[in-house]
Amino acid sequence: MFTKYQRMNFFYKPYLSLFITFLFFTVSGEAQVCTNLGQTPSTAFPVCGTSVFRQDIVPLCHTNPVFVPGCSDQPNSAAYENRNPYFYRFTCFTAGTLGFTITPLVANEDYDWQLYDITGKNPDDIFTDNSTIVTGNWAGTYAPTGASATGVSGIQCASTPSDNAPTFAKMPNLIQGHEYILMVSHFTDTQSGYNLSFSGGTAVITDPTEPHLLSAKADCDGTKITLKLNKKVRCNSFTTAGTEFSLLPAVSTVIAAVPDSCGFAFDFDEITLTLSAPLTNNNYQLIINNGTDGNTLLDNCARAIPQNEQVPFTYAIPQPIFADSVGRAGCSTDTVKVYFPKKIACNTISPDGSDFSITGPAPLTVATAYGHCVNGQSEYAIVKFTTPVYVGGTYQLTLKAGNDGTVLVDECGQEMPAHTRSFTAADTVNAGFTYTTSLGCRENTYLFSHNGAHQVNSWNWTFNGTAVNTQTHSIIFPATSNNSIQLIVSNGVCKDTANTQIDLNNEVKASFNMPDIICPEDPLVVENTSSGQVTSWLWKYDVAGSSTEKDPPPFLFPQLNHEAYYTVKLLAYNSTLGCIDSARKTLTVIDFCLIDVPTAFTPNNDGLNDFFQPHSAFKADNYQFKVYNRWGQLVFQSNNWQEKWDGKVNGLLQNTGVYVWMLSYTHRDTGKEVFRKGTVTLIR
């Protein structure tokens, strides 16, 4: 048994149950390249979701290989090809699920399909862009196939009919506004065809727009009318003689009609009507009614443009035209567009821009000119200057004969007279701003302002992340702070941005470091850690002395042979701001720094000699003190000379008696390591 990718099959379809004959050829039984309408992505059938597509014959042809996710990328996988395909193109107008069924017209036929999302892409991208694939089914089972609510997830790979692989996939979710292509491939040995119907899903793929006439325009000599429609209609719904159309007043009749795209598509939205005689100067109505084929024009869902619908147009024997307007100049632009009521011949626009000259508030020179040309004609001319337009105001653009000796010529061959059109340009703007400052001791007040020059009418400030939209703004910053300021200004056309950083350190803040305790023979050393803009200092060592230096020399307090307490105070001044701040700390000068250990203590809570510790161990570094009872049990230890033993262990008062202590330390001044031991008596 052959699998589907090893076979060549035939495939054909008429459009909307109307039998359309396509020519196709086979040579020695081999498939030919697909050329018929509907058999390539770019010529896909437009879908009306309410119609049934009946394909009675499937011509034999092929185009490009097809990638199938989960199938083509497997080892020894099938060589999938879009042999004998037809393509169907549609847009999702309401999001939802897509359900459809492909029903073979006879038994023992195998049809397969793959759905693509081609939004924003060329239809032929489905052969090269694998990301366009939505879902599909390539099972070899002889049965109807499609997408349904009971379908399986994932894509079924190529198989033999005896495998009975599932032929229905789970309905995909369509996205509103997205465009899709459904490819149907034929993989059996007959040409019996199939029916394709869309149902069961919730997505809407039928265009709700009703067809209507949109606009009509007569050509230059009045012998043809170009009619545009609001949407595409079917190519098989018009008559080549244009019998659907008439004129009012009836100065001429329509004798031929030629759509713009029926040579390569199934539908069109523009058609050219040929008249039996030229029009005369007048206002006209182009009227549509049923033609000799029994209808007006039908959209892809067979909805007709209403009979007797009319669209007005005016014909006048061509006269020289003038430019309609000059497009509004952007900010600092170096180009403007000049618009015309008719298309102009691109070959009459001098590339050096000499067809144009300009005057205005600031000198400008035309550098070049060109059109947006389609079939040699453009609806506007683009004029480029040597420098951007920086100065706002009204400029005059004059159209004249260029260095090539010709003026601009319109689509009707009429030369354009010299004339002038004005346009307005906006000033460029500058977001540079100013500010004034009022400094304080703890906070500073700033007033920010923009001058509003060049018609600025929008101010967007950002102060440390907070938005403000006034021309001026007052704000308070801490005297010690880092502040980011941004201003964006605009005059409705141009905008500019300015940024600045303001770092403040004018707060007067007094602070210093010093030891809490010193020995009577040691001078006090202080470290000034004040911040801000300080102009003068005053140190006060209580009643013992003072200094006005920022960093004073060590200060020696008087030796009193007893422990003394002093208040050390620092005052910081800023005479310019009139600011003052102070900081103070308490210093203990102990009576002596000889490290000694008492021989007894009485922990009876009478406030006298209730604790046991070494005295004046202020200069004992690497301090370690331990106390043991007479059984050698550790009852107290500490690495902090200020910690004391209260005569308790785990909250229990110890017995009266003699205890052994051990003390080790390094003397701070001499660096000598000391170890001592002795006894202490605990007395109740």
Task: Give the model's pLDDT for residue 20.
Answer: 32
CA-CA distance, 311 to 212, in Å (whole number)? Answer: 10
What tokens appear for 294 in the block?
């029994």
Structure-token match 């035309």, residue found = 366
Type of residue found at 272: T
SS3 sequence of 499-522? EEEEEEECCCECCEECCCEECCCC
The angle subtended at Cα 444 by Cα 438 and Cα 449, nearest 5°, is 65
SS3 sequence of 98-155? CCEEEEECCCCCCEEEEEEECCCCCHHHHHCCHHHEEEEECCCCCCCEEEECCCECCC
What tokens appear for 279 in the block?
């029009």
Which class does domain 600-682 fall in? mainly beta
Q: Which residues pair with 234 in a beta bridge?
A: 267
Element (H, E) at 358: strand 356-359
CA-CA distance, 541 to 445, in Å (whole number)? Answer: 36
CA-CA distance, 252 to 219, in Å (whole number)? Answer: 14
Task: Give the model's pLDDT for residue 64.
Answer: 80
Give per-residue pLDDT as tens, 625-678. 999 999 999 999 999 998 999 999 999 999 999 999 999 999 988 899 999 999
CA atoms within 13 A on the CB side of 343: 15
What pTM, to 2 d.p., does this model score?
A: 0.58
Give per-residue pLDDT as tens, 191-237. 688 999 999 999 999 999 999 999 999 999 999 999 999 999 999 99
Q: Do the domains at 434-505 and 600-682 have one common CATH topology? A: yes
Q: Which residues pair with 287 in a beta bridge?
A: 246, 310
Q: CATH code for 213-315?
A: 2.60.40.1130
Element (H, E) at 407: none
Outline where DSSP puts E strands in 235-360: 245-248, 254-259, 267-275, 282-288, 309-315, 325-326, 335-345, 356-359
Report CA torsion sign: 197, 200, 203, 204.
Answer: positive
Task: Give the model's pLDDT for residue 80.
Answer: 83
What residues have CB less than 8 Å from 6, skipping those under 6 apart? none
CA-CA distance, 41 to 563, in Å (whole number)? Answer: 103
Type of residue found at 321: I
Q: Which residues pair with 434 in a beta bridge?
A: 449
What tokens appear for 437 in the block?
């400052």
Q: CATH code for 325-425?
A: 2.60.40.1220
Report CA torsion sign: 232, 235, 237, 241.
Answer: positive
Q: Are 663 and 625 in contact (CB under 8 A)?
A: yes
CA-CA distance, 509 to 478, in Å (whole number)? Answer: 13
Residues of the chain with pLDDT under 50: 1-29
Q: 413: phi > 0 → left, psi -120 to 50 → alpha, else beta; which?
A: left
Instruction: Say how many Å lie between the first and final Cα of the chain, rounded.
Output: 112
DSSP classification of residue 360: S
DSSP per-residue codes, 559-605: P-SS-EEEEEEEEEEETTTTEEEEEEEEEEE-S----B--SEE--SS
Type of residue found at 655: N
Buried residues in 521-558 as b, exposed as e (16+ CB within 10 A): ebebebebebbbbbeebbbbbbebeebeeeebeebebe
What tokens appear for 115 in the block?
């759905």
Q: Is 5 exposed, middle or buried (0-12, 13-18, 19+ CB in 10 A)?
A: buried
- Which CATH fold would you assign to the domain 434-505? Immunoglobulin-like (2.60.40)
What tokens appear for 89 in the block?
């193109």
What residues have CB less than 8 Å from 92, skipping those under 6 apart? 174, 175, 176, 177, 178, 179, 180, 203, 204, 205
Q: Selecting from 3.40.350.10, 2.60.40.10, 3.30.420.40, 2.30.110.10, what CATH number does the domain 512-589 have?
A: 2.60.40.10
Cis, peptide link before residue 249, omega less than 30° from 0: yes
CA-CA distance, 182 to 265, in Å (whole number)? Answer: 16
Q: Domain extents for the chain?
A: 4-198, 213-315, 325-425, 434-505, 512-589, 600-682
Task: Give the model's pLDDT for residue 1.
Answer: 33
Type of residue found at 95: A
Task: Give the model's pLDDT for residue 162.
Answer: 85
Outline where DSSP puts E strands in 158-265: 168-170, 173-174, 179-186, 194-198, 213-218, 224-234, 245-248, 254-259
Q: Which residues pair with 638 in a beta bridge?
A: 625
Give per-residue pLDDT as tens, 23-80. 333 333 455 888 889 999 999 999 998 889 998 887 788 778 899 999 987 666 667 8
